[in-house]
């Protein structure tokens, strides 16, 4: 895959269902921008992107509904164009932290399909403006 092709695919992620689902700090609508930043040359943007994956996509050893897809795209980006060492280390650390969490699940355990209730909640979250996410979380909890 070429870098330009990957950039175009990331540019189209704004319509992907998972980008409307939550990470630790709201919806993952911001995640495609962080993926794009990792493919760029702005060191500060790359560091911010790594912090996003290490602090929002996995947070305090917890993964979120958007995490699996976000990490799948992160791996594609890292394979296509590894960022500078400190950024790569932070991104790989986020992946390792998620793997530790997921490692607690017995090998071979199938991933369950989303229940109707879970899908309905994710849809409600996705349709709620960012400033209303706290209320949707309260309903969930």
Q: At what angle do helices 85-102 and 67-80 cross, to 10 degrees?
A: 140
Domain for residue 120, yes or no? no
What is the pLDDT at residue 141? 67
Domain for residue 119, yes or no? no
Domain for residue 23, yes or no? yes
Q: Is the pLDDT of residue 93 over 90?
A: yes
pLDDT tens sequence across 25-76: 999 999 999 999 999 999 999 999 999 999 999 998 889 999 999 999 999 9
The DSSP 8-state label assigned to residue 128 in this structure reads S
pLDDT tens sequence across 4-21: 999 999 999 999 999 999
What is the pLDDT at residue 131? 85
Domain for residue 96, yes or no? yes
Domain of residue 48: give its range. Answer: 3-111
Domain for residue 127, yes or no? no
Question: pLDDT band for position 101 (50/70/90)?
Answer: confident
What is the pLDDT at residue 137? 80
Domain count, the chain: 1
Domain for residue 34, yes or no? yes
Domain for residue 39, yes or no? yes
Q: For the ranges 28-37, 49-58, 79-88, 119-128, which has the lowest average pLDDT?
A: 119-128
Domain for residue 141, yes or no? no
Q: Is residue 66 within 8 Å of residue 19, measured between CB atoms?
A: yes
Q: Is residue 75 within 8 Å of residue 86, measured between CB atoms?
A: no
């Amino acid at each position: 895959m070429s870098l330009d092709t990957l950039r175009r695919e990331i540019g189209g992620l704004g319509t992907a269902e998972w980008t409307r689902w939550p990470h630790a700090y709201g919806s993952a609508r911001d995640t495609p921008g962080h993926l794009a930043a990792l493919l760029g040359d702005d060191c500060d943007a790359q560091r911010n992107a790594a912090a996003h994956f290490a602090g929002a996509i996995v947070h305090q050893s917890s993964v979120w509904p958007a995490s699996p897809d976000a990490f799948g795209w992160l791996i594609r980006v890292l394979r296509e164009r590894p960022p500078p060492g400190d950024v790569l280390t932070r991104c790989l650390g986020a992946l390792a932290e998620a793997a530790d969490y997921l490692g607690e699940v017995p090998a071979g355990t199938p991933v369950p399909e989303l229940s109707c209730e879970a899908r309905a909640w994710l849809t409600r979250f996705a349709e709620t403006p960012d400033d209303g996410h706290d209320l949707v979380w309260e309903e969930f909890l």
